[in-house]
Structure 1
Amino acid sequence: MLFTISTGSLQKQLQLLNGAVGANAVLPILNDFLFELNGAQLTISASDQETTMITEVEVMGTEDGTVAIPAKLLNDVLKSLPEQPITFSIDAYSYAIELRTQNGMYKIAGENPGSFPEMTAPEKSNTLTLNSDVLANATEKTLFAVGTDQLRPAMTGVFCNFDDTGATFVATDAHKLVKYEHYGQQFTTAIQFILPKKALTLLKNALPAKQTIVHLTYNKTNALFRFENIQLSCLLIEGRYPDYTVVIPKDNSNIVTINRTDLLASLKRSLIFSNKSTFEVVLSVSENELKINTQDLDFYTEAHESISCDYQGTAMDIAFNARFLVELLSSMDVADVLIELSVPHRAALILPAEQAENENLLMLIMPIMRYS
């Protein structure tokens, strides 16, 4: 096996795959990249058995072959080299790898690729197509809200629903919830499944900046994404997603309209002074003013700020985890937001003051109960 490629081009492809390499893998082969050369096309794969990602890149190839290369070692080598051509020469029997650059020669030990997991298309599957910008927006808006509690596996992924009204993506960790809906594309076959966070994170990083079509093939247990030179397969999360609609309040009649950037900056400052276990901030809302108060009794710190706003409703004090508020507001890209409140012990809604075309974004945050 013999081929030449630029270090920058190869490193760019490996950066997309790094997240798919098995962490603390039981099988040593999962710590490797799989390189397959067929003519001028080099196919590179990474897998942890549950998620597999493949990318293709053009090279100057002269001898076809397959080899597994330790991922960390190869990444370290490429990071240490400047932009230049690098030639890979692999012994077909011992899998010894020789790397040659303009001024150097390096040897590393490859591995037999025979036991590397093979990506297979889902059996008895269906296929739908998605615009890449829909997936990019959905992952940007929802991934941070995914839960980490392994006792509730359904909440460790993003719930996806496709039907004749459009696409809906939902993520929650029981403290905050995000629902992103897109109406620009309808789907003739209604389908629901839960995609794992790792696969969606890889997908988010790999999606191109320019608009492209993503082909999604799926069945009850697997999903396969294909676009441009990328393929990504993953196991779907089993189980029933919680009925998130029951926690979304319908009668939050107290409405704050406020500049998102001002509120976000104030919350970030308040975090510095908040209790480091609860991160509690108290929002005191009244006509034309929102006050943000926080304190840490253990370290005698406190902060008080006020921001002008438009408020329609009854004056109230309500406490939230400031870190959750910062996460929600940071994921938005609008000038003004609406905060819809009911009473201090019920969930609040955060919405864009103006929804984007063909989109509906809803964020929910649970309050911190105060007994003083």
Structure 2
Amino acid sequence: MKFIVSSSSLLKQLSGINGVITSNPVVPILENFLFEINDGILTVTASDLQTSMITELEVEAKESGSIAVPAKILLETLRNLPEQPVTFSIDEETYSIELSSDNGRYKLAGENATDFPKVPTVSDGYSVNMSTGVLGAAINNTIFATSNDELRPAMTGVYLNLSETNTTFVATDGHRLVRYRRVDIAADTDNTIIIPRKALNLLKASLPAENSNVTLEFNPANAFFKFDNVKLICRLIDERFPDYENVIPADNNNLMTIDRSEFLGSLRRISIYANKTTHQVRLKITGSELQISAEDLDFSNEANERLLCEHEGEDIEIGFNAKFLVEMLSNIDSDHVVLQLSAPNRAGLILPKDKNDNEDILMLVMPVMLSNYV
């Protein structure tokens, strides 16, 4: 079997799906890309058994065939080759692969394609369409709040609640929660799924800059994303997601509206002086003034700043993890944000003041108990 392909085109496609491959796969064959040629189309698959990515590109080929190609050595070779046509010659009996370029020849050992695990298909599933821009926004707004705790697998992914009127994306790690709702994505029937973080990170990295359509098909076991010439199939997390609606406080009488970038800048500076374990910052709202302070008693470090804000309600003092606040504020586009509070021991809500008509975003953060009230 022989085919000719542009080195830069192949490198671009392989780089897009290479993130699936792990350094210590369950089965050694998964260190390879699966190359399949049919009618002049090269289909490349990368998999780690939980997640698979497939991409296609046109090549010059007179015959069909398949081979498993070592991913690492092939990528390193292509990265160091200038743009030029590369000829792949494959011996289907010994699985040896020879690359010929203007610079020289390179031989590497492939493996039998039949040993490569079969990629699952989604049959008897449901489907929903959305734009790559909307999917990218949903991932960016939620993925940072997922948990790393493998003992609570449901929280290591993003929960999707599809309904006939909207779609809600939710992520939580127990300390913070993000609910991102889109009214411009709707399904024919109500369904819920939990998509693993790794699959969403791979999607995020491979979504094209220009807006196009994404088709999401899913059944109880797998989800299948398709856009442009890329497909991603992932195994869904089969666990029960926490009842997040009950955690969101309803009676928040303290409302503070503040310039997002000023608040964010201040938090970044003040957090340098916070305790390195708790990252605790103290927010003290009195009238139309917010005082942000932090101290690290172990090193005698402390800092405080004052900002102007709009405030409705009683004066309040509350502690938060600065890392969580910084991450949340960094993922909001609005110029001003509203912080809704009820009591120093209850969760606070961060909402954008300016909203896109199609989206509704709510971020919740649990307080850090203050040791003393000054």
TM bracket (short chain): over 0.9
* Amino acid aligned to 1:205: A
Q: How many residues align?
A: 372
SS in 2 for 1:193: strand
- Residue 343 of structure 1 is matched in structure 2 by 343
Please say if 1:310 is aligned against 2:303. Answer: no
- Residue 5 of structure 2 is matched in structure 1 by 5
Please say if 1:229 is aligned against 2:229. Answer: yes
Distance 1:262 1:84, change over 3 A: farther
Native 8 Å contact 2:128 2:186 kept in 1: no
- Residue 162 of structure 2 is matched in structure 1 by 162
SS in 2 for 1:273: coil
Native 8 Å contact 1:179 1:362 kept in 2: yes
The Cα of 1:181 is off from its aligned counterpart by 0.4
The worse-fitting range, judged by mean Cα deviation, of 234-243 and 70-79 is: 70-79
The worse-fitting range, judged by mean Cα deviation, of 180-189 and 244-253 is: 180-189
- Residue 58 of structure 2 is matched in structure 1 by 58
Identity %: 48
Please say if 1:259 is aligned against 2:259. Answer: yes
Distance 1:195 1:115 in 2: 27
The two structures have a TM-score, normalised by structure 1, of 0.96
SS in 2 for 1:37: strand
Distance 2:103 2:74 in 1: 18
- Residue 352 of structure 1 is matched in structure 2 by 352
- Residue 24 of structure 1 is matched in structure 2 by 24
Native 8 Å contact 1:67 1:112 kept in 2: yes
- Residue 242 of structure 1 is matched in structure 2 by 242
**Please, what is the CA RMSD of the aligned residues?**
1.5
The Cα of 1:54 is off from its aligned counterpart by 0.3
1:259-285 CA deviation, whole Å, 9 max, x = no partner? Answer: 111111111122222211111111111
The Cα of 1:322 is off from its aligned counterpart by 0.7
SS in 2 for 1:224: strand
Native 8 Å contact 1:56 1:230 kept in 2: yes
Native 8 Å contact 2:146 2:197 kept in 1: yes
- Structure 2: gaps spanning 5 or more residues: none
* Amino acid aligned to 2:335: A
The worse-fitting range, judged by mean Cα deviation, of 149-158 and 204-213 is: 204-213
The worse-fitting range, judged by mean Cα deviation, of 176-185 and 199-208 is: 199-208
- Residue 279 of structure 2 is matched in structure 1 by 279
Distance 2:299 2:12 in 1: 46
Distance 2:113 2:335 in 1: 52
The worse-fitting range, judged by mean Cα deviation, of 64-73 and 233-242 is: 64-73
- Residue 365 of structure 2 is matched in structure 1 by 365
| Residues 318-329 of structure 1 mapped to structure 2, 5 A cutoff | 318-329=318-329
Distance 1:348 1:8 in 2: 49
The Cα of 1:4 is off from its aligned counterpart by 2.2
The Cα of 1:84 is off from its aligned counterpart by 2.7
Distance 2:68 2:290 in 1: 58
The two structures have a TM-score, normalised by structure 2, of 0.95
- Residue 153 of structure 1 is matched in structure 2 by 153
- Structure 1: gaps spanning 5 or more residues: none
